[in-house]
Amino acid sequence: MNAEAGTSTPEQTTTPAPQQVSVEQRAREEELVTRVVESFAGASDARLRQLMQSLTRHLHAFLREVRLTESEWQKGIEFLTQAGHITTDQRQEFILLSDVLGASMQTVAINNEVYGKATEATVFGPFFTQDAPLIEIGGDIAGGASGQPCWVEGTISDTDGNPVPGAHIDVWEADEDGFYDVQYEDTRTAARGQLFADDQGRYAFWAVTPTPYPIPHDGPVGRMLAAVGRSPMRASHLHFMVTAQGRRTLVTHIFVRGDERLTSDSVFGVKESLVKDFELNAPGTPTPDGRDLADSAWSRVGFDIVLAPQPT
């Protein structure tokens, strides 16, 4: 904080409500905002200029609205410092922070505008990998991951209802214990795969029934969630990424109807249109492809995907 801020310690700082700020004080604060905004006026990149000037206005509006104390400012700096220290190639605390603030989801919403009946997008998450095993339609992505078998089937079409043959589908999910394969201690690949829709836009595969899991919560973001009484748990879900020529790439999940965490998903990823019925079948119930699951119960879900056109 500014060393010339005076002799008051953070504890002595008063926090007047905005309406209690004098005209002179308000003028002083607004003059600073103006000067900082104007400091970016010379940026040759117009978009960068817009971003920095808008960020300045909103940041100062926040500081002034809450009348931030110097000790709170210090805590904020410490929080961001801790987030930096825990961040590695495998652990991105700033994305986590963006996620729990809803900033990731808002960015997804802005960049996936409503288009007809196009399937809604949701957060990408940190667990996608490029090299998922390629499976045939009807194949199994589990790859040894623990969990109840789940048959997933559906179609891929455009917003006029025409099938999208050959669309590429990536799917990935946590195992029954809530872990993605990249979190395993070894290098196994499990609970992820890629496949192509057939010539009528149909697809199907075996996976495991999704279960809830927590986002990493042993760092500053987790401590913040605990401090405000929020759960780190994500609602049970199965990730999809669907790409096709001339279509907007869709990154989404499907969620399990009845999951009690649908209304408290820690990253705000749930959309009602993405909540699906996972029909539970008792052991011995014949499977769609005749697969013998011995004495295991299994679930079945349908997910028809509608792709928007590629933005021009």
Q: Which is nearer to Fe ion, 99 or 140 (CB)?
A: 99
Torsion sign over Cα 251, 117, 256, 196: negative
The answer to whether 269 contacts Fe ion (rule: CB under 5 A) is: no
CB of 179 to Fe ion, least distance (A): 11
- Among the residue ranges 21-29, 53-61, 79-87, 119-127, the one whose residues contact Fe ion (CB under 5 A): 119-127
Q: Which is nearer to Fe ion, 214 or 219 (CB)?
A: 214
- Among the residue ranges 38-46, 121-129, 135-143, 186-194, the one whose residues contact Fe ion (CB under 5 A): 121-129
Residue 256 vs residues 20, 71, 131, 261, 300: alpha-carbon distances, Å: 49, 43, 26, 10, 11
Q: Which is nearer to Fe ion, 58 or 91 (CB)?
A: 91
Residue of minimal Cβ distance to Fe ion: 125
The answer to whether 125 contacts Fe ion (rule: CB under 5 A) is: yes
- Among the residue ranges 24-32, 59-67, 120-128, 260-268, the one whose residues contact Fe ion (CB under 5 A): 120-128
The answer to whether 232 contacts Fe ion (rule: CB under 5 A) is: no
Q: Which is nearer to Fe ion, 125 or 193 (CB)?
A: 125
CB of 241 to Fe ion, least distance (A): 12
Q: Which is nearer to Fe ion, 115 or 124 (CB)?
A: 124
- Among the residue ranges 42-50, 67-75, 103-111, 123-131, the one whose residues contact Fe ion (CB under 5 A): 123-131
Q: Which is nearer to Fe ion, 125 or 232 (CB)?
A: 125
CA–CA distance, 248 with 177 (Å, rounded to integer): 33
- Residues binding Fe ion (CB under 5 A): 125
